[in-house]
Amino acid sequence: MDLANGSSSQNVILLGFSDQPWLELPLFVIFLVSYILIILGNLTIILLCRVNSRLHTPMYFFLTNFSFLDLCYTTTTTVPQMLVNFAAHTEPSSYGGRVAQLFIFLALGSNECILLMAMSSDRFVAICQPQHYSTIMHHRLCFQLVAISWFSGVSTSVLQSTWMLKMPCCGCHRVNHFFCEVPALLKLSCVNTVTNESELFFNSFLSLLIPMTLILISYCFIVRSMLRIPLVKGRRWAFEPCVSHLLVVLLFFGTANYMYLQPLSPISLERGKMISLFYGINTSMLNPIIYSLRNKDVHCAFLGLVSKVPSLKV
């Protein structure tokens, strides 16, 4: 039955770890704690970047948007769905609802790819052309880059979600996953999906490999410029923000490339489910830590904010 022809009565069951029930309670606790840390960490980054005037720079403007994306990503697509699955076990839901979840997932994921590329361009200008930084990275350009990332994410999601809706599916289906991803949903089709898999690979190539390649090229120029800095202290000051960004890039693109740039098979889907645990939760939880751990500006902003709260004064 084809959803494109108006049928939305099909049910989808996300199995998760239903075949290993002994894992459900400890994973529920781990995911709940991780989700709380994700919310607290990213909200703290957003709050600090908004209230502290020293953080009103392009780098922290992009970081604020990145933290907001992480909050939306985990809240609307991954963690709550995982928690519901553990609590309600194999509760069925409509195929249309799952595709809506897929649309948001793809839009935010594609958005994040372009935003990470925009953040690398900011670091490239700051290190390779510092004398022109304020002229090039003005507020209008920053807003334009963020707008482009949202437009690109929504456009990519519309294309992929549309051809997913056109796929013929029949009956009630069990998906061996925690939430709806394209590789898992492709297995619901009653027809040969070779063409769809080729489209998925092509779209993933555009959305993942091209931004990642451009980011790595920009870092080649950044490293070359840094080697020209005579003082070791100056090199460390310039590269510390880059290290944080590069770690996030490797975490995000490494797991996403593994999921979407390999042939679909039962083994790859099973491994993909485990990888989803990592990039669905850990990357969003680690991002605030990575960006703030060695960042003196964030430390000072946090201490300044705490000092303004009377109840927290010693």
List the pLDDT tens digit at each of the 314 positions of the chain: 344 444 444 566 666 665 666 677 787 888 888 888 889 989 988 988 888 888 888 988 998 999 999 888 888 777 777 777 666 655 556 666 667 777 888 888 889 889 999 999 998 998 888 888 889 999 999 999 999 999 988 988 888 777 777 766 655 566 666 666 666 666 666 666 667 677 777 777 788 888 999 999 999 998 888 888 776 666 677 677 788 888 888 888 887 777 777 665 554 555 666 666 666 677 788 778 777 766 777 777 777 777 766 544 44
Torsion of CA 50, 56, 59, 61, to 10 degrees: 40
Are the beta carbons of 123 and 41 closer than 8 angstroms?
no
Strand partners, 13: 174
Q: Per the structure block, which two tokens stand in for 262?
A: 């390999």
- The long-range contacts involving 277-281, CB below 8 angstroms and separated by at least 24 positions, are 277/178, 279/251, 279/252, 279/255, 280/74, 280/78, 280/79, 280/82, 280/178, 280/179, 281/31, 281/34, 281/35, 281/38, 281/74, 281/78, 281/79
Q: Check if the beta carbon of residue 259 is closer than 8 Å to that of residue 14.
A: no
Q: Burial of 234 by CB count in 10 Å (0-12 exposed, 13-18 middle, 19+ buried)?
A: exposed
Write down the pLDDT at residue 267. 47
Q: Are strands 93-94 and 11-14 parallel, antiparallel or unpaired?
A: antiparallel
The full set of domain ranges for the chain reads: 3-312
Topology of domain 3-312, CATH: Rhopdopsin 7-helix transmembrane proteins (1.20.1070)
Q: What is the pLDDT of residue 1?
A: 37
The angle formed by the CA atoms of residues 129, 152 and 122, to the nearest 5 degrees, is 15
The backbone torsions φ and ψ at residue 228, rounded to the nearest 5 degrees and listed phi first, read -85, -10
pLDDT of residue 252: 84
The predicted pLDDT at position 9 comes to: 46
What is the predicted pLDDT for the residue at 180?
66
Distance of CA 292 to the CA centre of its chain: 18
Asked if 123 and 242 count as a contact pair (C-beta separation under 8 A), the reply is yes
pTM to 2 decimal places: 0.81
Phi, psi of 6 (to 5 degrees): 110, 0
pLDDT at 174: 64
Amino acid at position 151, single letter? F
Name the β-bridge partners of 14.
175
CB 106 within 8 A of CB 77: no
pLDDT of the residue at 192: 66
pLDDT recorded at residue 6:
41
Q: What is the pLDDT of residue 61?
A: 92
What are residue 51's phi and psi, to 5 degrees?
A: -90, -20
User: In DSSP terms, which residues pair with 2 in a beta bridge?
Assistant: 168
